[in-house]
Amino acid sequence: MALKAAAEPTRLRILALCAHGELSVTDLTQILGQSQPRVSRHLRLLCDAGLLDRFREGTFAFFRLAGRGPSALLTQTLVDSIPPDDPTLARDLERLEAIKRARTEAAANYFRDNAARWHVVRALHVPEREVESVLLTLLADYEVGDLLDIGTGTGRMLELFGPLAERAVGVDLSREMLAVARARLEQAGLRNCQVRHADMYQLPMPTATVDLALIYQVLHYAEDPAEVVAEAARVLRPDGRLVVVDFARHTLDSLRTDHAHRRLGFTDEEVTGWCRSAGLAPEAAIHLPGDPLTVTLWPAFRRQTAAGPALPMLSLSGVSP
């Protein structure tokens, strides 16, 4: 059944595209140049055959290559067998990259337009004081040497944890956000804190040089949340900790349409699965129910490894601006 489902040019194109990330029906319709009913039919056949996984978020549905099951290996084999210089695939991937660039630009525009009032916007959805109190309690006994705040925004996490850390760096792609963060850190007198323009998928830190990494209300903007978690795990020292703070899975489509959210929250299974895949040991999630959104804290740590060469210390002065 699986081979029969894949033995059709459009469905093979869909498999090749979904190998590059989660895609919606709308995404695939734009790339393939076919009607939505026709694309939906192809997707249904591929899902029924176990070649694709389907995930519904509100009124949207996303599709990606099957990660488990007897057809998962077959799916990857089929995708790998497509010649990289295939002209149809090349055109499809160009259109996919254009869609991803449009999403990135939409998020960047949103950040730019809301940089000065970011705390006001976030307060509409998140009980920040309660979350911050729980986060401080969670890490109360943890000695923070080098802190990394991924997607630092206005630098609030640096304000909160900067006094507890020896050194702290916040990274963000929005220069407008970084301008706000710098001003706030200067006003707070936190000279041990710095902010840098950097990509959360390519952190400007060497491997195993960070004691605590925070991803606070960032993952729902990410094109590939699993890659963000994996990159954060890369920079953690043995016994280093990662804490992801974000919304639990919800159905508020307005956050996607009006606030550029890519994902409508996450399940515990998703986040802990990404942590395990990145070599981290997840700890118990903490749920803070709200109306209508629930905020969840997902802590994890990197287990101590066997003795080896001494790990380098993080030099904040060496982080490229």
pLDDT per position as a tens digit, 87-103? 999 999 999 999 888 87
Average pLDDT over residues 261-290: 95
> Mind listing the pLDDT tens digit for each residue in 39-97?
999 999 999 988 898 877 667 788 888 876 777 788 888 888 888 888 999 999 999 99
Q: Is the pLDDT of residue 110 over 50?
A: yes
| Position with higher pLDDT, 174 vs 133 | 133
pLDDT of 251 > 70? The answer is: yes
Q: How far apart are CA 306 and CA 285, in angstroms?
A: 28
pLDDT higher than threshold 60 for residue 237: yes
Q: Which residue has the tokens 């940089």?
A: 115
Question: For residue 272, is pLDDT > 90?
Answer: yes
* 145 Cβ neighbours under 8 A, 6+ residues apart: 165, 166, 167, 211
pLDDT band at 280 (very low <50, low <70, confident <90, very high): very high
Q: For residue 22, what pLDDT is reported? A: 76
Better pLDDT: 284 or 120:
284
d(CA 271, CA 264): 13
Cα 213 from Cα 48, distance rounded (Å):
40
pTM (two decimals): 0.71
Cα 120 from Cα 137, distance rounded (Å): 24
What domains are defined for the chain?
2-82 (1.10.10.10), 119-310 (3.40.50.150)
